[in-house]
Amino acid sequence: MKISVIETGRPPAALGDTFPDYPGMFAELLGRGLGSFEFIPIRLLDGEPLPDPRGMEAAIITGSPSGVYDDLPWICPLKAFVRAAYSAKLPVVGVCFGHQILADTLGGDVRKSPKGWGVGRHTYEVLETRDWMLGAGGSFSLVASHQDQVISAPKSAVTLARSVHTDHAMLVYRDAPFMSVQGHPEFSDSFASSLYFLRRGTIFPEAVADQAIQSLGAVPGDHALVAGWMARFLSMARP
């Protein structure tokens, strides 16, 4: 299966020599014996055009420091792509910003949360399961790094998981093979810790960053579990 990874953000430049870019992180995450996948980066930030969804096999939309409401030249084309992909029944997975852009485009409400930054290891309560969610228990934990979130889900979506911080943390859609998650299964603990430390005292208050870093050692991550869900979802959704 050829998975187009739509790059909507990049790691901070200070971390670029140490860690992969976001398409590279997804290739590492899903390339660990989970399926026969070929990853095709689409450098949206460099002006690379989005392909016609009717000629694609699957897509992942990455995280981004941008918001779905930002006036950027690639936001409107991406929303048009989401609508076209929905109509074409293209299997799509959205992560963080990708989760938000799917919800916003399809009628949900996405904005900055009054709860502030969601960072560190977050634990999500599983509300419903699907057949691709092998190994699902009552909860799962992922790295989080977001200020925006889905405040209300689209009518076509079902909320599969929530947390204390985020009511709609994992969505699946009824009329198209779309699924999305607010947390970051592709972020290693090493990358997350480096990201929090880099933003400590600037983007994140020092106490918030310190607590986020501490949480990584206190709660095990379920990144491999969620990676399996994503791989099975894309494989099972393909016609």
pLDDT tens digits, one per residue of 17-63: 999 999 999 999 998 767 789 999 999 999 999 999 999 999 999 99
Q: Is 152's pLDDT higher than 90?
A: yes
For residue 36, what are its two tokens? 């026969």
- Its pTM stands at 0.97
Question: Which listed residue (7, 99, 122, 186) is catalytic?
Answer: 186
Give domain limits for the chain. Answer: 2-237
Residue 184 catalytic? yes
Q: Residue 128's pLDDT band (boundaries 50, 70, 90)?
A: very high
Question: Which listed residue (122, 165, 168, 184) is catalytic?
Answer: 184
Task: List strand residue ranges (DSSP E) for 47-167, in order.
Answer: 58-61, 92-95, 109-112, 118-126, 139-146, 148-152, 157-162
Q: Residue 238's pLDDT band (boundaries 50, 70, 90)?
A: confident
Can you name the CATH fold of 2-237? Rossmann fold (3.40.50)
Question: Which listed residue (7, 96, 168, 223) is catalytic?
Answer: 96
pLDDT (tens digit, 9 = 90+) per residue, 92-102? 999 999 999 99
Q: What is the pLDDT of residue 199?
A: 95
156 by Cβ neighbours in 10 Å (0-12 / 13-18 / 19+) ranks as middle
Q: What is the pLDDT of residue 33?
A: 67
Q: How confident is the model over 143-161, as a mean pLDDT?
A: 97
Q: What is the pLDDT of residue 32?
A: 74
Residue 186 catalytic? yes
